[in-house]
Structures are given as structure tokens and as C-alpha cells.
Structure 1
């Protein structure tokens, strides 16, 4: 709160109170806080140096093998049609690997496929010895 030193009317010996807000100290405090924040923010951002392990083997030379389930008796390995009875033999031929059971098999299904048909294919792959089975889904955007 300040005092009014000049102005109209009244006795020169009476001092009236000024009810206007004095913003000068407020601006000074804000500028000091701004400077403090500008100085401390660069010190608050830290970087962590990570030594990531290098990937072994370089590029992937073999494309993944996809098993597509389109219906109960409608199976595909890549773009080649197969059946549940010949799934293991066709899958071994498509993998081109000396150890096909250690390779990853990617399986995907149409949204209209019965869940039982899908699980039948999964069980057949598991019974044939494939343990690295990955399920593929499609992102809905």
C-alpha cells in the first residue's frame, strides 16, 4: 500500500492512502524467478551414456515363414496352399533350414476363422515339435 503525495483538493498537511496496486516489486520477483529457472533447467537435463551391445549376424538373410489360417481346411504357408495333414512337411520345406524346429513360425488368422480351427493348427504345430510360435495381429487404425 502506498501513499498519495500529490493531487487535487484537500489540505497540504493531510496524506491520503493510495489503493492502487504497486506492481513493481511483483515484476522484480518474477524476473528473478525467471532467471533462476533459466539457469537451473539446463543443469536438470542429464544424459545417460549407454553402451548397447552390438547385434551379431548382421542382416536377416531368411524371410519369416507365415502360416495363414483362412478357414478350418484352408491353410497357407506363405502363398502356397497346404492342409493340416501335410502342414509339417510343407513347413519344413518352406523354412530351408537344417533345424526347422528351432526356427520361429509366425501364424496369423482371418478374423472370421472359428477359434477352434485356429487352436487346432496351433496344437498341430506344437505336436509336430515347433515350440517357437508367434502370433501375428493387424493394427486397427
Structure 2
């Protein structure tokens, strides 16, 4: 049996995650469905995706302390995006997948989110008009391809795969 981890010595949750990823490497962490069947995502693979997305967010202008809205179903990308936002030293603002455009506009205004991450066209169709309406959140990252004609200029949209 492994000794308990000294959680009080860990700086933050992303640091603990990357420490575990280095230790557990190719062991499965998450499962994803692809072409009708499930396959594992290893700790190493997920850590790489978290790192890539965190770097992408920083490159897009997300700074430490910025709020980032996350609209996603319960799926691997939710986990990856949550840890990427934290690894970029930003603050996760989770949103319900049932939010309407009006709900999203309220959350965007209330949180002061600078960026928004979204999965799937159906969720993006309700979020993107709220981004345009509010106007202060100028970074939209699609964790899946975003719908065409979403009302944003090409330089406002970044995709991640």
C-alpha cells in the first residue's frame, strides 16, 4: 500500500496533477469514445493536452487571475479544460450546459470572464451570441469545431483539437 501523499506540501492542484502524471505515465486516467468504441487516455497523454491548452490560452492573452468560462458536458475535455485553465493560473467559471443565451450573458457579465471554452455546436450556438452581446469576452475556444457564422470575426475564434 502506498504512503499517503503530503497534500499540504503541494502548491496547487495543477502541480499535484502534473506530479501524478509524471509518476503514473501510461496508466489510464480517462476514457474517450472514438468511432463507436472507448479507448483510454493515459496520464501522460492527458497531461500533454492540459499543457498544450494552457499554453494556447496564455498565447491568446489569458493572464493569471483572468476568469475563463467553461461550457462543457461531462467528458474528458471538461477535465482537460479545467486543469488547463488552472495551469494557466486563471480561474475556472463553470456554466450549466442547460444555460440559455440570456443565462450565459448574465454569467459573462457577472464573472467578468475574458475567455470562454465550449464543447459542441449545440452548446456553442447558445454561448456565442451571448459573447457578441456582452462584448467584453473576446476569446472563444472551441474544444470541438465551432459552428459557421457564429457572429464572431475569425480573429476572435481559436480552435483546439
Question: TM (normalized to structure 1)?
Answer: 0.33
Structure with higher helix content: 2
Question: TM (normalized to structure 2)?
Answer: 0.30
Computing the radius of gyration over CA atoms, which structure comes out larger, 1 or 2?
A: 1
